[in-house]
Chains A and B, each alone.
Chain A
Amino acid sequence: MTRRDFIFRIGGAAGDGVSSTAESFAKICARSGLHVWTYSSYQSVIRGGHVWTQVRAGMDPLLSHGEDPDVLVALNQPTLDIHAGDVSPVGVVVYDSEQLRADPSKLRKDVRLLGIPLRKAAQSLSPNALMRNTVALGAVVRLLEMDVRHVESAFQDMWGDKKPEVVAQNVSAAKLGADAVAEYGGSLRLGLSYTNVPRPLMTGNEAICLGALAAGCKFLAQYPMTPASSIMHWMAAHAPKHGIVVKQVEDELAAVNMAIGAGFAGARAMTATSGGGFALMVEGLGQGGMTETPVVVVLVQRAGPSTGLPTKTEQGDLNLALGAGQGDWPRAILAPRSSEEAFSLTAQAFNLAEIYQTPIILISDLYLSEGHRTVEPFDFNVPIVRGLMVADGGSPGERYRRYRYTESGVSPRALPGTRGTVFQAGTDEHMESGELISDVLAGLPEFVEERRRMMEKRMRKLEGLRKDTPPPEVFGPANADLTLITWGSTQGPAREAILRLEAKERFAVNALEFPTLFPFHVDETLAALRGAKRTLAVEGNYTGQFSRLLRAETGIRPDAFLGKYDGEPIAAREIVAKALEVVR
């Protein structure tokens, strides 16, 4: 058998070490030179429940976490009951033969049951039964014929030099698992080859952090919320070295307002949250738009509505991001399609925020942000463009015309501390000087005109933002029978579906992918969809939030819609099935 990739799945209860074992395995794969893509299905508990993580690894770049596992490690009975039947033909189920009961009748054809007394083996080395995961991991590495030294290096990462005896014990435990494989049927013989040249492995949130760092982010204020919290964790850990202030604050109102304060003072500032926290930030964002203050806001979507499914994915917050804030104010909404783009668009967001002096929203989701994936090398040579600024003003006490009317709508900024420039930024409507219109001038004919001009000045920034943000991109053949319409993280599964439809069904399908959701690229979209025979919008939400935006902006209504709102990421096979249904 020659395979180019495989899927590993491990399941148990929260607290069983499922995610740490999966993370170690992902690292082992990346260090073997494979491309890696993980998806973790977990729950909003600290102990108990049922959690599982899938690690897909392959010799070619991957596009999704894949579907059925080739290797399943079951750490408890529910994992066997729920997942064993999914294991693909010729796959293997690794389980504790003394603790769990496997039912061969539930398995697909030629699936091998590899029962190993995991707990007993672990306890032969140490009373701590947790090493049973390591025994299983050793078995898996042997099944896939990977280099065992990566196992040791993964343990080294986890326990480091502080606990060499733990590393040694785990290496021994892994060997017990490997020996068991040799004893019971040997390796899977999938025919994969390993370069053993390591690939960088990180989560989408870590890619966002690196993009922020590369762009000179100096300030992050955040309140914990899954699945955005790991942005704060990573940034906090790296903050002192890079001279960044990272603050966990009292709530998301404080988070966005603090970031805006830092942005006003002249530091590149960011906040990150999920839908619930973003809802609280809404008024603050409008403040950024009105005072023309740069700030980057990362919105990592999870399944709503309300508290929803905190540990599950969705693309349901587009309407929220589009409509955030009372009144109209200029914004851009960027939706990274991949980890690489999470890096590059985050970096770009900082430039856009300062060039256009307004909040820029980066919208990700749990699937992209929490999944560990190997990435192609990032270009850290990010240009840092700070936009128009004045270096010195007039005489002390002279008012600076901060909101001067300009063709682009962008007026040169003055940062507090700049000699001879003073002004007051107001969330009330104001004149070029910052003086308020709202209090004693509103409604007077001259100031009706002034208000109109100031509104238009701010909103003109949208034209610049439209030009400076990435337009939609076509993936796949030019003359396709069907065009998928996707945004953000749906890119991967949609591309995988397109490749499968081409290879297996001889259907020419392409995709129009949107890395920018707002300002909408109307002309490019119309041009790209002009020749489309049929269109299928694929989104992770119920109402087709992007489809409605597309229709509002272009008048184009997708012929069909695949909406996913069960909390799980969209799988390529679901898109394949829907595409066939639409075309046939």
Chain B
Amino acid sequence: MKTAFELQTYKSEIKPTWCPGCGDFAVLSALQKAIHGLQLEPWNVVLVSGIGCSSNLPHFLSTYGFHGLHGRSIPVASGIKLANPDLHVIITGGDGDGYGIGLGHTLHAMRRNLDVTYLVMNNQIYGLTTGQASPTSEKGMKTKSTPNVGVIENPIDPIALAITAGATYVARAFSGDAKHMADLVQRGIEHRGFALIDCLSPCVTYNRTNTYDFFRERVYDLNQEGHDPKDMKAAVARALEWPTAQRDRIPIGVFYQAEGVPIYEEMEPGLRQGPLTKARLGIEDPDELMKEFL
């Protein structure tokens, strides 16, 4: 019989380097609870991240980790998953990483519907580089890079993008509601297909606008208001509520979940013979192979 893994087993001896009060602590804790809840073997979990405060997360859990380049966590994670689909691949990063420099990869990974989970710690600011505008910064927000009239671009709407790009589990969590977040993350990992969990994770140092209080006053659980996550059109409508339409009510919960959609690894003909990492290497019948050249 398998020994149960303690919650502590998943914790690394490396202490988080985040500012006290950072929203990312809640995400770390939610993820730890989720993989504990699922009793995943630590060596079969690979956390892949990019660059940014939140991308340091893999070091704080005792699983495999790949802390790569800014904006490139998704292709690395895709390569890992395609090489060995038996692994649980979880991508963690920030809004700059996933919705800015790496947005192209984010959308393409969603349309592939790989069976991976993506946690974006969305604080609507660049923290590690000390406070520039991010792709999710609100219009008008003054930052180091927008000191005059504030941000004049529209913010990215990651939820709407994810639903339309082909992600099959799309949720939003809030670091102020850790229990809800842990549940959403666990369901995301359990989901077969690409899961995005956009985590509202306040930056207590550089974002004075989108604070815990800002969100506490505005968030509501859309699943308690009768939203059906199977309904794609309704999901898009809910997604557009914020930040696109208004800023008074912010839905959190599962916007969209499509079950039974074929996942990429299943459709990939190169994986029919099993994980690449377990394959026998080399050519069995070179003469047969050379026939086409004669």
The answer to whether A416 and B80 have CB atoms under 8 Å apart is: yes
Which one of A11-19, A67-75, A96-104, A434-442 contacts B?
Answer: A434-442
Given A265-B80, A397-B42, residue A245 in contact with residue B283 (CB < 8 A) = no
Which one of B133-141, B148-156, B240-248, B285-293 contacts A?
Answer: B285-293
The answer to whether A424 and B65 have CB atoms under 8 Å apart is: yes
- State A434–B271 Cα separation when bound (angstroms): 31
Within 8 A of B (CB), among A351-382: 375, 378, 380, 382
The answer to whether A416 and B108 have CB atoms under 8 Å apart is: no
Total A-B pairs, Cβ < 8 A: 217
Q: Which A residues lie within 8 Å of B68 (CB)?
A: 257, 260, 287, 291, 427
User: Is B105 in the interface zone, CB < 8 Å from A?
Assistant: yes
User: Is B44 in the interface zone, CB < 8 Å from A?
Assistant: yes
Given A243-B273, A258-B82, A264-B79, residue A283 in contact with residue B64 (CB < 8 A) = no
User: Is A246 in the interface zone, CB < 8 Å from B?
Assistant: yes
User: Is A532 in the interface zone, CB < 8 Å from B?
Assistant: no
Q: Which B residues lie within 8 Å of A206 (CB)?
A: 293
User: Is A198 in the interface zone, CB < 8 Å from B?
Assistant: yes
13 further interface pairs, Cβ-Cβ under 8 Å (given A245-B271, A266-B83, A416-B43): A219-B82, A239-B270, A243-B273, A243-B279, A246-B270, A249-B108, A257-B75, A262-B83, A265-B83, A287-B68, A416-B44, A422-B43, A424-B47
Q: Which B residues lie within 8 Å of A246 (CB)?
A: 270
The answer to whether A214 and B277 have CB atoms under 8 Å apart is: no
A–B complex contacts, Cβ < 8 Å, 10 sampled: A218-B83, A243-B271, A258-B79, A262-B82, A264-B66, A265-B83, A267-B84, A378-B290, A393-B43, A428-B67
User: Is A215 in the interface zone, CB < 8 Å from B?
Assistant: yes
Q: Which B residues lie within 8 Å of A423 (CB)?
A: 64-65
Q: Which A residues lie within 8 Å of B279 (CB)?
A: 216, 218, 243, 267
How far is the CB of A383 from the nearest CB of chain B, in Å?
9
User: Is A463 in the interface zone, CB < 8 Å from B?
Assistant: no
The answer to whether B79 and A261 have CB atoms under 8 Å apart is: yes
Quick one: which of B46, B67, B271, B282 contacts A427, CB cutoff 8 A? Answer: B67
Which residue on chain B has the smallest CB distance to residue A436? Answer: B59
Given A206-B293, A260-B76, A260-B79, residue A416 in contact with residue B87 (CB < 8 A) = yes
For A, the interface residue count at a CB cutoff of 8 angstroms equals 75
User: Is A573 in the interface zone, CB < 8 Å from B?
Assistant: no
Interface centre among A30, A251, A380, A416 (most CB of B within 10 A): A416
The answer to whether A397 and B67 have CB atoms under 8 Å apart is: no
Size category of the B interface is 35 or more
Q: Which B residues lie within 8 Å of A468 (CB)?
A: none
How far is the CB of B63 from the nearest CB of chain A, in Å?
6
Q: Which A residues lie within 8 Å of B294 (CB)?
A: 30-31, 198-201
Within 8 A of B (CB), among A208-239: 210, 213-216, 218-219, 221, 239
User: Which A residues are within 8 Å of any B CB, using their own CB?
Assistant: 30-31, 198-202, 206, 210, 213-216, 218-219, 221, 239-240, 242-247, 249-251, 253-255, 257-269, 283-284, 287, 291, 375, 378, 380, 382, 384, 393, 396-397, 399, 415-428, 434-436, 439-440
The answer to whether B84 and A265 have CB atoms under 8 Å apart is: yes
Which residue on chain B has the smallest CB distance to residue A293? Answer: B66
- State A420–B41 Cα separation when bound (angstroms): 9
Q: Which B residues lie within 8 Å of A261 (CB)?
A: 48, 66, 75-83
The answer to whether B10 and A243 have CB atoms under 8 Å apart is: no
The answer to whether B59 and A435 have CB atoms under 8 Å apart is: yes
User: Is B5 in the interface zone, CB < 8 Å from A?
Assistant: yes
Interface centre among B42, B63, B82 (most CB of A within 10 A): B82
Within 8 A of A (CB), among B55-78: 56, 58-59, 62-69, 71-72, 74-78
Which residue on chain A has the smallest CB distance to residue B58? Answer: A424
Q: Which A residues lie within 8 Å of B43 (CB)?
A: 393, 396, 416-422
- State A210–B283 Cα separation when bound (angstroms): 9
The answer to whether B46 and A416 have CB atoms under 8 Å apart is: yes
The answer to whether B82 and A384 have CB atoms under 8 Å apart is: no
How far is the CB of A239 from the nearest CB of chain B, in Å?
5
User: Is B269 in the interface zone, CB < 8 Å from A?
Assistant: yes
How far is the CB of B279 from the nearest CB of chain A, in Å?
5
User: Is B17 in the interface zone, CB < 8 Å from A?
Assistant: yes
The answer to whether B82 and A264 have CB atoms under 8 Å apart is: no
The answer to whether B290 and A265 have CB atoms under 8 Å apart is: no
The answer to whether B66 and A397 have CB atoms under 8 Å apart is: no
Which residue on chain B has the smallest CB distance to residue A203? Answer: B293
Which residue on chain B has the smallest CB distance to residue A247? Answer: B82
Which residue on chain A has the smallest CB distance to residue B101? Answer: A253
The answer to whether B269 and A259 have CB atoms under 8 Å apart is: no
The 5 closest A-B pairs by CB, nearest first: A261-B79, A216-B281, A424-B65, A257-B75, A265-B83
The answer to whether B5 and A265 have CB atoms under 8 Å apart is: no
The answer to whether B59 and A262 have CB atoms under 8 Å apart is: no
Q: Which A residues lie within 8 Å of B273 (CB)?
A: 243
How far is the CB of B213 from the nearest CB of chain A, in Å?
29
- State A380–B76 Cα separation when bound (angstroms): 31
Quick one: which of A239, A399, A427 contacts B69, CB cutoff 8 A? Answer: A427
Q: Which B residues lie within 8 Å of A284 (CB)?
A: 69, 72
Q: Which B residues lie within 8 Å of A215 (CB)?
A: 281-282
- State A481–B48 Cα separation when bound (angstroms): 59
Q: Which B residues lie within 8 Å of A201 (CB)?
A: 293-294
- State A251–B75 Cα separation when bound (angstroms): 10
Interface centre among A199, A265, A427 (most CB of B within 10 A): A265
The answer to whether A397 and B62 have CB atoms under 8 Å apart is: yes
Which residue on chain A has the smallest CB distance to residue B72? Answer: A257
Interface centre among B48, B68, B104 (most CB of A within 10 A): B68
Q: Which B residues lie within 8 Å of A198 (CB)?
A: 294
Which residue on chain A has the smallest CB distance to residue B107? Answer: A250
How far is the CB of A390 from the nearest CB of chain B, in Å?
11
The answer to whether B293 and A202 have CB atoms under 8 Å apart is: yes
How far is the CB of B85 from the nearest CB of chain A, in Å?
10
- State A211–B81 Cα separation when bound (angstroms): 25
Within 8 A of A (CB), among B242-278: 268-274, 276-277
- State A95–B82 Cα separation when bound (angstroms): 53
How far is the CB of B273 from the nearest CB of chain A, in Å?
4
